[in-house]
Amino acid sequence: MQLSLADFECEDTEAPRWLPAEKWEDILALSVLPGPLDSLCVHMARESDVWRDWYHSEKPEDLDLPIPNPENETDSADKEEEGDILTIIQDAKYCISNIIF
């Protein structure tokens, strides 16, 4: 099954062109999981410039992820979920040992 932004009711925005297609497909797959990463692809598409700057930074693993931080802290991404995003986007540059469980 191939996902697109239309599956997330976000037809007014395009997929980020700076992100390789296979990485975008991984982000789409991650975005269907319930929890804080639900619809992550929508945020990445709408805030593409912010994500692109983070992606192209020298050491993105040392920066905060530009993900939304909801008021309800139980819905915010934890270190493991942030590690998943880093692994997908940064070709596993992020060292798994830095993830705090």
Question: Residues 43-63: pLDDT tens digits?
Answer: 999 999 999 998 888 888 788
Contact between 1 and 38 (Cβ < 8 Å): no
Q: What does the pLDDT read at residue 99?
A: 41
In the chain, which stretches have pLDDT less than 70? 1, 68-78, 90-101
Give, in order, the Cα–Cα distances in Å from 60 to each of 37, 75, 86, 100: 18, 23, 8, 17
Q: Which tokens hold the place of 69?
A: 């931080």
Give, in order, the Cα–Cα distances in Å from 46 to each of 10, 74, 84, 91, 101: 9, 24, 20, 22, 30
CB atoms within 10 A of CB 22: 8
